[in-house]
């Protein structure tokens, strides 16, 4: 598995296909394999890059002094794009990766040719209500680790405070097991997860959202209506703020659009890339 060493630490990633580069961001306590059903469909036409962000299921701890606030993770994404030798990418976010993608777009627009946001943390919904106990748990030594021990039980994973609200389909238990193994395997990874958890607060998105009003790159908002964590209305609010943003509805899906509707999600992203010029102003966008 390829890896790059950045100032923040070592980042592992998958790199599949050739063509326009597309970089996919995943959520909390997950890794880049979450996007595999969409990558499988896009890789024949695009270069698909799926990094394992330091969000609790990464295999190598970041440097102890690394900034793992959401803004710090967004900086890591921008640094990763530069280290890959790419002038800019189509950046795709989901779950907490949607928050990171918004901050990257607001603060590092030079690295982004197009932006795709799916259901995830937006506006004041950071984190969603079901996960607001994580921050206080992260401030008591060992408590977050104890809480995640319960996720080893499949029945607990299906609960709203586990992974149960993220998908309408069956949970990928083998994948979730790998994510938990990564968390428990290294105290440095658990330290990183605590740092990230403490930074998932509404204030992290306030200033970036204001900047998105001047973000002039082609933007696709592919939001599921049935999401119980990250409401469709947030896609509508983003569409009203961002110049030239296009909102598409993903039916019969919750947060994990790449799992519930991989064919449609890949189609929307592929058509969006083919119908726009990377870095173009909204007036230059050609309808797909």
Q: Which CATH architecture has domain 3-284?
A: 3-Layer(aba) Sandwich (3.40)
* The predicted structure's pLDDT at residue 221: 98
Pairing of strands 21-25, 89-95: parallel
Strand partners, 112: 89
**What is the pTM assigned to this prediction?**
0.95
Tell me which residue has tokens 């119908």: 275
* The predicted structure's pLDDT at residue 175: 98
For residues 76 and 103, the answer to whether their CB atoms sit within 8 Å is no
Strand partners, 89: 112
* The predicted structure's pLDDT at residue 283: 42
- Token pair, residue 281, equals 């102003």
* The predicted structure's pLDDT at residue 287: 35
| Residue extents of the structural domains in the chain | 3-284
Instruction: Count helices and strands (H / E) in the chain.
Output: 12, 8
CA 112, CA 121: separation in Å to the nearest integer? 19
- pLDDT tens-digit profile, the chain (288 residues): 999 999 999 999 999 999 999 999 999 999 999 999 999 999 999 999 999 999 999 999 999 999 999 999 999 999 999 999 999 999 999 999 999 999 999 999 999 999 999 999 999 999 999 999 999 999 999 999 999 999 999 999 999 999 999 999 999 999 999 999 999 999 999 999 999 999 999 999 999 999 999 999 999 999 999 999 999 999 999 999 999 899 999 999 999 999 999 999 999 999 999 999 776 654 443 333
* The predicted structure's pLDDT at residue 282: 47
At residue 198's C-alpha, the angle toward residues 197 and 199, to 5°, is 90
* The predicted structure's pLDDT at residue 277: 79
For residues 6 and 148, the answer to whether their CB atoms sit within 8 Å is no
- Token pair, residue 139, equals 């401030």
* The predicted structure's pLDDT at residue 284: 42
* The predicted structure's pLDDT at residue 281: 53
């Amino acid at each position: 598995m390829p890896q790059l060493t950045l100032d923040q630490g070592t980042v592992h990633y998958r790199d599949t296909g050739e063509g326009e580069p597309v970089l996919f961001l995943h959520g909390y306590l997950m890794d880049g394999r979450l996007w595999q059903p969409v990558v499988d469909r896009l890789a024949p036409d695009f270069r698909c890059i799926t990094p394992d962000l330091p969000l609790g299921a990464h295999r190598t701890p970041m440097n102890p002094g690394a900034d793992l606030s959401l803004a710090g993770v967004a900086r890591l994404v921008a640094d990763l794009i530069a280290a890959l030798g790419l002038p800019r990418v189509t950046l795709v976010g989901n779950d907490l990766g949607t928050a990171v993608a918004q901050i990257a777009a607001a603060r590092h627009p030079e690295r982004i040719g197009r932006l795709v946001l799916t259901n995830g943390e937006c506006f004041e919904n950071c984190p969603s209500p079901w996960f607001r106990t994580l921050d206080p748990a992260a401030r008591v030594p060992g408590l977050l680790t104890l809480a995640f021990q319960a996720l080893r039980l499949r029945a607990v994973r299906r609960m709203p405070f586990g992974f149960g609200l993220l998908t309408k389909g069956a949970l990928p238990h083998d994948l979730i097991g790998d994510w938990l193994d990564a968390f428990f395997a290294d105290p440095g990874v658990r330290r990183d997860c605590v740092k990230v958890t403490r930074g998932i607060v509404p204030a992290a998105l306030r200033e970036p959202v204001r900047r998105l009003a001047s973000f002039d790159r082609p933007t696709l908002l592919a939001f599921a209506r049935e999401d119980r964590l990250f409401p469709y209305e947030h896609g509508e609010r983003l569409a009203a703020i961002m110049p030239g943003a296009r909102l598409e509805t993903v039916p019969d899906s919750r947060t994990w659009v790449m799992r519930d509707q991989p064919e449609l999600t890949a189609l929307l992203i592929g058509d969006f890339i083919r119908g726009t010029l990377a870095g173009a102003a909204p007036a230059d966008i050609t309808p797909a």
